[in-house]
Structure 1
């Protein structure tokens, strides 16, 4: 392969193609592979070649034979290369990059344990995996392997290994997520840096690190952190594979997609079509070889993602835990149903409700039902905008600009390919999220962050180089102005949050836009100084809003299943006045009617009085106190609504002295009363499960508080047919379950099983209730109350 050594190294951050012309492209480049960075074709008469100024060719890191001596030499120089970076980099580049990684780590580790167990649904599985290798392998909710979580287990493995190494704690559970965040920043930088300037890579990395939803999810124990890291590595591998039509790198991409599937099933494949098409149409080799290489990548993906599925599907059901989230104990049906196409259509059997119109009294929805309205503006509206949308207008503008600027480049041009890869990621994922009718949470948008960040870094790099030319200076100025205006709008949704910041961002951004236009007309040192100041001001204006949200996010603990980044906003949540669902100081976010219809729950303020909230199956939001907030509900509800969440009352009466927060705060096991935890620990070794509870929302709290296996009847929603009433009676007769904990779970939602409700009814009618603190418990080893 011919390297681009003909391009002289430069210490200038913005090399000029007129000074360093591109290397020649061999005549057979399209068939046998290009030089490192093929130049665009000659310009037509009377037409300019903007891409030569915007995206000049750069030198690839040298690639030589991979013999033992070469590898040994590389290993010997690894410490030096880690610090120094590429040979042609200015001296400031690698220290700046390492400083970015360090700053990201400090930001994400800051106040990390304030979130406690974060999503205790997954923390309970980590606890189980830290004491049982079988539970770790399957992703079981408990060490006795009754049922798994409703996702594949790969994201649990780093946390379980961390807990085995450091001991189970909030820090050991969440620290791997922080490291994944730092790794994702590094991967985005490396991908952008391969073709664009170091400054473009640094801007991309900083934009990723400061996006609020990234600051949330890389400090939280949901699968999304590992998913985003693996997809970013897949993007890096795709860029590398297209440089030289490398089979090895395409196999790497397949492995990353396979592992991403074992992290969050079909969501991993949202960007797969875009990546495959980019390689198919741009790789510098013949059509036949491209198809064959894609086949190799597909086989690698199937092996990397399918081996665990094969083990689970081929193993007898009696030898493994029940597959949580499924209605037939099959991981394949879980993949294509509840976790797959059901998320798109809203038809999710056993779910808490997806598509359709809001319940009576709720606002009518445009296709998204209880998960918000769908449409092209979905990702910009309400509190979703504050999670991800700060730089999305800029990313879309720069994507269009980048594709236009490279329109006459060779199909194998690396700049063009980079815009196609990241643009394909952004559009595929954003359109899916915008129109899916099933379960959709604000934090899902973390999957967009690497694409947004990369497009901003790449586009800003090209426009900055061409800022002395009026058309490109105008595009740069418009991008800066639009970004500042949009940040002003987003900050306005949080009227009490740093009120002066929105005006500073708007004024600073507009002034920077004007200065960037003027700087290109100025000559000599004055023009350079004006451009530098304007560029720094534009960068500060673009990142100030998301940075402020990110700082607010890391300074606040988050727990539960539904979490959001940043401060409370007007129109947030999934209903009017929907509070700060998911914060430790948050409340249930005003859902406009769960299954059964009804009125919106009133917004709670900082965990206080969440309101009545009609709309749960059978009646009102249970008024019982809930772990993780303050008051569970003031107005109570009719008997038969929900018989009290953990710590609640049996009849749904007004809650007292709980720690409320609804689904956003149900899962903090540390809030379980100490006397309940001690009771569960008594004679724990005599029993397979020290207790049973309906729903993982209920089970996880008690398992984490006691450290002993607790059975989650019905899985996450209490609606999985994981155990029949006869099966439960048999376990009780064998003395394998000690306590039954009242309350929790939704039972039979969206057509799911009613087994858990039948078990709860049988226990309540057969055994005497015992109130411990505010928790209703039943001793299953005691004599039945009716003889």
Structure 2
């Protein structure tokens, strides 16, 4: 066989496979790559909080390993560092920039789409794989996250890779592939901690029920896979535990400087059950419970239209309303979540129930039913958890549901189509079509964006259902028409939202997909400043500059940072050019100046680091040059304010939480050091005692 013949055979694929499959896969991946890479640089640093950690990782190997926010390793971000390793390595190779940081995220999305196609294809055929891959690629929240620098992109790639490994393990009862699945889940833990484990129940169930080997072998194989999860997740935790606290950064988000407490506290059980200590400093995400409750009520009133935290009604579950509205089974269909991930969710649920019923009496190892246990179980478990989480939840978390929805929809549609000569599959397909078109109509009309698309989707769904019910056998024109209309129904809304997401710049801590991309907006509603009336920050707009990018998040300075302050920090030769309250204040300064800035109290200002004594020691040793008070509403007292003012705002505690830091540090600085005015901001020179 010549080289040309081998290339042609490779392009065509197996002889039993339609000749158009591999070209179709190539088109799917090419379109996905274009969608995810298009306009990528428009989002700039995306989430400043994580971008600062990536930049620090390009400056310090130690900061990269631990996930420190600054290159001098004072405190880490509130997530483990695996996702940032990829971005930081890219930055080390190509230089730190928006593109070097975000291109790996986009390529992870392309890889995840391919792996999902490959996994679904093995049990349900290439057409089902293509449908699943297309649905996944065009899910708006997937487009958002694969163009953003949050760890969710890497997490999603890892859990999809784990799902592919489970599929391979199932085929011959392979221990090797099952161990690989456990390893992928373990590394997922190092990307976003316990969220990686949402897929484990489905993995364990499908293997225990349907693997083609004996029961006891299945049990010990699953135990071995659990061991692989522990090893893959635990090696980094062990190193952090063994390194003395004085020789590594403080674990941001934890209350006792350990990653296990972070995993099972702030990023774990407190996310699910909420409570008074939903995060460091009390309340959700470091927000004191009283403030969180007040915010939740304000967000419920203003809703998503105000660019707030997503609305969806009231304070919901937990003190913060979870950033996503009230808890309950309808949360995924709410204003906050619906347009992000639920376009094909009703159809997937209908298909899942119908095909499980139709395959109920199939053999134990039947691959159709096994596939539904795997992907349908993935969809259901993650959906229930996201629906009832009482603590912090952002709508973009639902990217982890997207592979399960896509695979379930793809598998069930193809299975029912193959049996379309029977009345029950035909009726189910017709119902899925009508529901999908109707739901697209509802979702599009909620935003008052491109209303014509709503009618197109709804009408196409009805016409596709009519073609299906009329019967397709021997009627080629009906077959072609039904397929075309079904494609229009399924993809009109989600593809339009995906495309709009791709061309929209997103920044901040809680971006959302679709038109506008509103996330945190300017911060808390009702406090003035920013699109939603958010926290005042150090945003300095250029003459004629408009509003911040869509979804500008909490602490996102946007516009142009105070150039005089940036020059001041760049000229400093101390270990930390400055200290300020909270990572949301420190990160933009670091990104602008490339200098190390100490983030007092971590993300929210509520972490117990540093203590007053520690900070005084840093100052005495000339390791911190400037202190920059927080400008956030209700933040630390400014120059000349009495110490009792800061203490009052702190509620008498050592750490006040959200944006307030340690009031004792502010009181000590304002009492002992000289204030300067730099570009309109007050800065304290810690090398110049007050007169």
TM-score, normalisation: structure 1: 0.78
In the TM superposition, residue 658 of structure 1 has moved relative to its aligned partner by: 8.7
Q: Following TM superposition, by how much is the alpha carbon of 1:345 offset from its aligned partner in structure 2, in angstroms?
A: 1.2
CA distance in structure 2 between the partners assigned to 1:175 and 1:82 by the alignment: 28
Q: 1:490 to 1:662 in 2, by over 3 A?
A: closer
Structure 2 CA distance for partners of 1:325 and 1:477, relative to 1, 3 Å: same
1:333 to 246, 261, 275: 261
Residue of structure 1 in register with 2:43 after alignment? 115
Which of 372, 377, 380 is the aligned partner of 1:419? 372
- Mapping of residues 477-496 of structure 1, within 5 Å: 477-495=430-448
Check the 8 A contact 1:230/1:260 in 2, yes or no.
yes
The match for 1:707 is 594
Q: Contact 2:540 / 2:562 at 8 angstroms: preserved in 1?
A: no
Report what 1:518 is aligned to: 470
User: What secondary structure does 1:359 align onto?
Assistant: helix
Superimposed CA distance per residue, residues 95-143 of structure 1 (whole angstroms, 9 cap, x where no aligned partner): 1101100100001111001111001111100001111111111011111
CA contact (8 A) 2:538 2:631 kept: no
Return the match for 1:555 from 485, 488, 503.
503
Which aligned pairs between 1:716-755 and structure 2 lie closer than 5 A? 716-743=603-630, 753-754=655-656
Greater C-alpha Rg: 1
Aligned equivalent of 1:435: 388
Alignment-derived partner of residue 597 in structure 1? none
2:410 to 457, 465, 470: 457
How many Å apart are 1:325 and its aligned residue?
Answer: 0.5
Q: Which residue of 2 aligns with 1:533?
A: 481
CA distance in 1, matches of 2:69, 2:623: 17
In 2, the alpha carbon distance for the partners of 1:750 and 1:176 equals: 45
Distance in 1, matches of 2:233 and 2:334, equals: 35
Aligned partner of 1:678 in structure 2 is: 567
List aligned pairs for 1:72-83, cutoff 5 A.
83=11
**1:137 equivalent in alignment to 2:137:** no
The separation in 1 between residues aligned to 2:458 and 2:527, in whole angstroms, is: 36
Change in Cα spacing, 1:414 to 1:182, as seen in structure 2 (3 Å) is: same
| Pairing partner for 1:695 from 560, 582, 589 | 582
What is the match of residue 301 of structure 1?
229
Matches within 5 A, 1:350-365: 350=280, 353-354=283-284, 358-359=293-294, 362=298, 363=300, 364-365=314-315
2:519 corresponds to 1:581:
yes
- TM-superposed CA distance for 1:772, in Å, is 2.2
Is the deviation greater in 191-200 or in 219-228? 191-200
Matches within 5 A, 1:174-213: 174-213=102-141
Distance 1:410 1:629 in 2: 68
- Structure 1: gaps (5+ residues): 1-72, 569-578, 591-599, 612-620, 632-655
> Once the 2 structures are TM-superposed, how far is the Cα of residue 668 of structure 1 from its aligned partner?
5.1
Encode CA deviations 1:401-430: one digit per residue, 9 max, x unaligned.
221122111111111111000111111111
Write the distance in 2 (CA, Å) between the matches of 1:475 and 1:750. Answer: 61
Q: Name the counterpart of 1:771.
A: 677
Write the deviation string for residues 692-725 of structure 1: whole angstroms up to 9, x where unpaired.
Answer: 1110000000000011111111110011111111
2: CA distance between counterparts of 1:376 and 1:268? 21
Counterpart residue number, 1:43: none
- Render the CA deviation track for 1:342-393: whole Å, top value 9, x for unaligned: 1011132425733899428645444344222000000101121010111100
> In the aligned structure 1, how far is the partner of 2:481 from the partner of 2:540?
51
**Aligned 8 A contact 1:587 1:661 in 2:** no
1:467 aligns with 2:409: no
Is it true that 1:165 corresponds to 2:117 in the alignment?
no
Where structure 2 has 5 or more consecutive residues not aligned to the other structure, the ranges are: 301-313, 637-649
Counterpart pick for 2:450 among 498, 501, 521: 498
1:218–1:658 Cα change, 3 Å: closer
Residue from 282, 304, 317 that aligns with 1:367: 317
Q: Matches of 2:547 and 2:342 in 1, distance apart?
A: 35
Deviation at 1:498, TM superposition (A): 1.1
1:559 CA displacement: 0.6
Displacement of 1:767 in angstroms is 2.4
What is the deviation of 1:761?
2.6
List per-residue Cα deviations over 1:419-467 (Å, max 9, x = no partner).
Answer: 0001111111110111111001111111110000001110111122122
Give the TM-score of the pair, scaled to structure 2.
0.88
Shift of 1:195: 1.5
CA drift of 1:750 comes to: 13
1:588 is displaced (CA, Å) by 3.3
Change (3 A) 1:187 1:677: same
Identify the residue that residue 398 of structure 1 maps to in structure 2. 351
Range that drifts further, 371-380 or 736-745: 736-745
Shift of 1:535: 1.0
Alpha-carbon displacement from aligned partner over 1:504-524 (angstroms, at most 9, x marks no partner): 11112111111122242x53x
Give per-residue Cα distances to partners, 1:132-177, cap 9 Å, x unaligned.
1111110111111111111111000000000011110000111111
Q: Hey, what does 1:39 align to over in structure 2?
A: none
Report the number of matched residues.
646
**1:662-715 Cα deviation digits (max 9, x unpaired):** 971533577312222111111x4x311111111000000000001111111111
Question: Shift of residue 278 of structure 1?
Answer: 1.7
Q: Evaluate the alpha carbon distance shift between residue 410 and residue 668 of structure 1 in structure 2; reply closer, same or farther with a 3 A threshold.
A: farther
Aligned to 1:282: 210
Q: 2 CA distance for matches of 1:186 and 1:540?
A: 23
> Is contact 2:139–2:341 with CA below 8 Å preserved after alignment?
yes
Change in CA separation of 1:734 and 1:358 when aligned onto 2, cut-off 3 Å: closer
Distance 2:379 2:60 in 1: 39
SS at match of 1:780: strand
What is the CA-CA distance between 1:78 and the residue it aligns to?
A: 9.7
Q: Which segment drifts farther, 771-780 or 398-407?
A: 771-780
Quote the Cα distance in structure 1 between the aligned partners of 2:107 and 2:251: 29
Greater CA deviation, 664-673 or 76-85? Answer: 76-85
Distance 2:146 2:124 in 1: 26
**2:436 & 2:652 partners in 1: Cα distance?**
42
Aligned counterparts of 1:751 and 1:410: Cα–Cα separation in 2: 62
Measure the CA separation in 1 of the matches of 2:149 and 2:6: 32
Matches of 2:351 and 2:233 in 1, distance apart? Answer: 34
Contact 2:124–2:411 (Cα < 8 Å) also in 1: yes
Q: 3-state SS of the aligned residue for 1:411?
A: coil
Aligned counterparts of 1:145 and 1:76: Cα–Cα separation in 2: 55
